[in-house]
């Protein structure tokens, strides 16, 4: 059994209780911002790790909330200490500027799901609407609720659906659809997280048309294939969407998906 190893406020802990008070705003109110990264080649400097982008996103959120910046040298030291143990790191900066870094393994059956595709469930309802959607804050309850509900339907993930019926993102990543020779991704202005992998894919698809029109019901039914992206899985094909009493099917072997896969 692997030891529980994490880093908090400048120190590495191994199988020790977390030294944080229950009254800390990070626990009481979710007052933290975080990012989740997959460390490629055991290196923060690997281009696919996107270390700089992860730090920039956190820094911008801290600036927006008028919270102190962390000791970035200490943050780097903590990530370096944990990447020897885990391929996926979650870096959280609390409202007081302290860092909490935890790790985890890659998802089970990742390569198989990347090949075969997965089923997702449409999360419709006010309890699944994220607050401050353009920031990754510690209050991720709506996404967690959507994921738990999706599992009861036999799905791997959930698509967050706006009250208008517009598809926004999954509980863990950004959406991609392909139709008529071009890629579509929901616009950030609709209220979703501008993912780091989303930005990478948009840059990589610079020689192709990428449309960011809102995903209404008539648009999503036109897609030939569907996928979502995040920094842990790269891109994940979606072959089935469960939306109320409707089941939408998409190709997980479509040639268009290769353009996304090549970027990871």
User: What would you report as the CA-atom Rg of the chain, rounded to the nearest whole angstrom?
Assistant: 19
What is the CATH architecture of 5-104?
2-Layer Sandwich (3.30)
pLDDT for the residue numbered 171? 97
Its pTM stands at 0.94
- The closest alpha carbon to 226, from 186, 176, 160, belongs to 176
Tens of pLDDT along the chain (264 residues)?
Answer: 567 899 999 999 999 988 888 899 999 999 999 999 999 999 999 999 999 999 999 999 999 999 999 999 999 999 999 999 999 999 999 999 999 999 999 999 999 999 999 999 999 999 999 989 999 999 999 999 999 999 999 999 999 999 999 999 999 999 999 998 899 999 999 999 999 999 999 999 977 778 889 999 999 999 999 999 999 999 999 999 999 999 999 999 999 899 899 989
Q: Is 243 helix (H, G, I), strand (E, B) or coil?
A: strand
pLDDT for the residue numbered 1? 57
pLDDT for the residue numbered 2? 64
Q: Is 206 helix (H, G, I), strand (E, B) or coil?
A: coil
- Contact between residue 210 and residue 199 where contact means Cβ atoms under 8 Å apart: no
Alpha-helical regions (H) of 103-249: 110-116, 141-152, 196-204, 217-220
pLDDT for the residue numbered 232? 97
Q: For domain 110-261, which CATH number applies: 3.10.129.10, 3.40.630.30, 3.20.10.10, 3.40.50.1000? A: 3.20.10.10
Q: Phi and psi for 128 in degrees, rounded to 5?
A: -105, 10
- How do the domains of the chain map onto residue ranges? 5-104, 110-261
């Amino acid at each position: 059994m692997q030891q529980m190893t994490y880093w908090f406020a400048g120190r590495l802990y191994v199988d020790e209780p977390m030294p944080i008070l229950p009254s800390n705003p990070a626990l009481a109110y979710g007052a933290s911002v975080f990012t989740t990264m997959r460390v490629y080649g055991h290196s923060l400097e690997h281009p696919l790790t996107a270390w700089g982008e992860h730090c920039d996103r956190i820094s911008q959120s801290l600036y927006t909330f008028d919270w102190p910046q962390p000791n970035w040298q200490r943050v780097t030291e903590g990530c370096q200490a944990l990447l020897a143990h885990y391929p996926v790191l979650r870096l959280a900066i609390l409202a007081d500027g302290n860092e909490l870094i935890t790790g985890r393994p890659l998802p089970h059956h990742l390569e198989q799901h990347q090949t075969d595709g997965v089923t997702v469930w449409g999360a419709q309802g006010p309890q699944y609407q994220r607050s401050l959607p353009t920031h990754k804050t510690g209050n991720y309850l709506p996404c967690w609720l959507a994921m738990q509900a999706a599992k009861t339907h036999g799905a791997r993930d959930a698509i967050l659906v706006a009250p208008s019926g517009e598809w926004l993102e999954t509980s863990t990543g950004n959406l991609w659809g392909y139709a008529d020779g071009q890629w579509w991704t929901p616009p950030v202005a609709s209220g979703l997280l501008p993912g780091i992998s989303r930005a990478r894919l948009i840059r990589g698809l610079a020689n192709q048309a990428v449309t960011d029109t809102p995903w209404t019901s008539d648009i999503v039914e036109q897609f030939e294939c569907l996928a979502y992206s995040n920094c842990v899985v790269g891109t994940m094909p979606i072959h089935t969407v469960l939306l109320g009493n409707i089941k939408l099917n998409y190709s997980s072997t479509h040639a268009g998906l290769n353009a996304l896969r090549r970027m990871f």
